Amino acid sequence: MKPATVAKKLGIHLPATPQEFQDSTITREEFAELQANPPEWLAELRRNGPHPRPVVAQKLNVSISGLARGGVEDALTTAEITALLQAPPQWLVTERSTHAAVRAEAQRVKDEAAKKEAKRARAN
């Protein structure tokens, strides 16, 4: 696998990885080993970052689009994410409520579809 693919699957920011990782091709066995027994550099990246945008969005409880609307274009460290959570700027408050509303609506639609399916199954 390409390093970018492995970094995405591991949830790490590729430019923050060691150069030998960036320059190599990783086999599925090596990938499984990285997951099972992460080396110190990988554990450190997961712990302190910088984290890629999908991980930042998940930690801030917003969408990736919400990050872009908030002006977050780069990877953030754990310390930067914690600082944002401790003193949330207005954009973060707005995006978190928007994200929560979207998730609630998606759950409502899913529940409604499940009810219709259950009703249809009982009718048969």
pLDDT band at 123 (very low <50, low <70, confident <90, very high): confident
Write out the chain in H/E/C secondary structure. CCHHHHHHHHCCCHHHCCHHHHCCCCCHHHHHHHHHCCCHHHHHHHHHCCECHHHHHHHHCCCHHHHHHCCCCCCECHHHHHHHHHCCCHHHHHHHHHHHHHHHHHHHHHHHHHHHHHHHHHHC
pTM: 0.77
Q: Look at residue 49 in the predicted model and tell me its pLDDT.
A: 86
124 pLDDT higher than 80 = no
87 pLDDT higher than 90 = yes
pLDDT, tens digit, for every residue of 39-56? 999 999 999 989 999 999
What type of residue is 68? A
121 pLDDT higher than 90 = no
State how far the Cα of 33 lies from the Cα of 13, in Å rounded to an integer. Answer: 19
Cis bond upstream, residue 89 (ω within 30): no
